């Protein structure tokens, strides 16, 4: 008790204390609701693989591949207000058959600002969320399993997505966090003139942007499956009030992380997307012989579910 009294007299405790200890000092020692609590965390990763074959009777191809990862986030709390931002970036390249292919590519920036409800819904917060995402490098259509540099299907800010959502964030639990926004604007951007002229990614042909107004939900979960094994997922749902609101855009990511030691980690990441406005090639164009005549069957196009899975083993440094 004497020690607590001395600490209270000397003012707020900051210095080199970790965030959980600062929270305890605020609640137990001075109980000052205006103290600022800050938490910063991040992960930098690099995964490498290499195969070299020379006169190998079993067949195969030499290859070099790498994936660079960066995940940063910071949260601040001061009284009834809190804020946070996050950066999630990845770039993976594979060199095979004398050329480079892209295996992973994303750039996501997120910011969120919250204020606690004073009377009704005390366990909820008014919240504003801004989410911007795109990619670093161009993407190309595959022809015979190889990227065709003459058929660019995506690029930096082509598409780019910007979501601004206002709603409620119920009090977060230890493992789960929910955000519900009945008022949400979604902007799709196409800087590439060729893609804009083709009306790609739901943007009207000849236009470079498309605006949608709708409702939005984000659900985050993070917990330990067992010692040194962590599962994290994020589900984003968006409904466009102005056009076919029953067609829900789905964006789901999952990450299974297995920690070997302080530097070595294995991760399995999954990414599922469904967007009714994105037209995919479901069956490629082909040539068939019909009644002795070569007939070209056009590609079958339409919306569909996109799925990606990446297994990574390499170096990971926690900030």
Give the DSSP letter of residue 23: H
Give a yes or no: residue 207 inside a domain.
Answer: yes
Give a yes or no: residue 247 inside a domain.
Answer: no
Stated pTM of the model: 0.81
The CA distance from 194 to 140, in Å, is 13
DSSP, residue by residue, 163-206 = EEEEEEEEPP-SSEEEEEEEEEEEEEE---HHHHHHTGGGPPTT
Q: Which domain holds residue 128?
A: 22-51+63-236
Give a yes or no: residue 10 inside a domain.
Answer: no
Torsion of CA 85, 72, 185, 180, to 10 degrees: -70
Give a yes or no: residue 269 inside a domain.
Answer: no
The CA distance from 261 to 176, in Å, is 26
Give a yes or no: residue 130 inside a domain.
Answer: yes
Give a yes or no: residue 243 inside a domain.
Answer: no
Distance, CA of 58 to chain centre: 39
Q: Angle 288-290-291 (CA atoms, 0-180°, nearest 5)?
A: 150
The CA distance from 116 to 124, in Å, is 7
Give a yes or no: residue 309 inside a domain.
Answer: no
pLDDT of residue 121: 63
Which residues of the chain are modeled with pLDDT < 70? 1-35, 118-122, 284-285, 299
Q: Contact at 8 Å (CB) between 103 and 92?
A: yes
Q: 240: Cβ–Cβ under 8 A, 6 or more apart, which residues?
A: 186, 212, 213, 214, 247, 249
pLDDT of residue 23: 40
First to last CA, the chain: 35
pLDDT of residue 117: 76
Buried b / exposed e across 183-216, counting CB within 10 Å, b at 16+?
Answer: ebebebbbebeebbeebbbbbeeeebebebebbb
* Main-chain dihedrals φ then ψ at residue 217, nearest 5 degrees: -140, 135
Q: Contact at 8 Å (CB) between 5 and 283?
A: no
Both tokens of 159, joined, read 């598409």
The CA distance from 170 to 175, in Å, is 13
Both tokens of 118, joined, read 């004073």
β-partners of residue 145 are: none
Bridge-based pairing state of the strands 124-134 and 99-116: antiparallel
Domain count, the chain: 1
Give a yes or no: residue 303 inside a domain.
Answer: no
- DSSP H helical ranges for 2-154: 2-9, 19-24
């Amino acid at each position: 008790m004497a020690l607590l009294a001395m600490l209270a007299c000397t003012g707020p405790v900051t210095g080199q204390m970790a965030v959980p200890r600062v929270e305890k000092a605020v609640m137990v020692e001075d109980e000052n609701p205006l103290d600022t609590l800050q938490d910063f965390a991040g992960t930098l990763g690099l995964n490498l693989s290499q195969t070299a074959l020379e006169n190998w009777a079993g067949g195969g191809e030499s290859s070099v591949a790498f994936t660079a990862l960066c995940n940063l986030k910071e949260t601040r709390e001061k009284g009834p207000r809190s804020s946070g931002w996050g950066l999630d970036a990845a770039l993976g390249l594979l060199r095979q058959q004398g050329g480079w292919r892209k295996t992973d590519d994303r750039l996501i920036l997120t910011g969120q600002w919250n204020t606690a409800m004073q009377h009704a819904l005390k366990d909820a917060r008014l919240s504003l969320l801004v989410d911007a995402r795109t990619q670093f490098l161009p993407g190309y259509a595959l022809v015979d399993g190889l990227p065709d540099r003459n058929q660019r299907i995506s690029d930096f800010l082509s598409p780019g997505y910007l979501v601004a959502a206002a709603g409620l964030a119920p009090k977060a639990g230890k493992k789960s966090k929910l955000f519900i926004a009945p008022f949400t604007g979604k902007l799709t951007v196409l800087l590439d003139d060729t893609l804009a002229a083709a009306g790609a990614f739901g943007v009207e042909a000849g236009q470079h942007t498309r605006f949608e107004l709708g409702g939005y939900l984000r659900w985050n979960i993070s917990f330990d499956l067992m010692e040194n094994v962590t599962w994290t997922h994020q589900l984003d749902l968006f409904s466009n009030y102005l056009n076919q609101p029953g067609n829900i855009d789905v964006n789901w990511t999952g990450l299974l992380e297995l920690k070997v030691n302080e530097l070595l980690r294995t991760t399995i990441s999954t990414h599922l997307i469904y967007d009714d406005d994105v037209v995919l090639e479901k069956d490629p164009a082909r040539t068939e012989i019909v009644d002795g005549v070569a007939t070209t069957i056009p590609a079958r196009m339409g919306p569909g579910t996109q799925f990606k899975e990446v297994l990574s083993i390499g170096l990971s440094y926690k900030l």
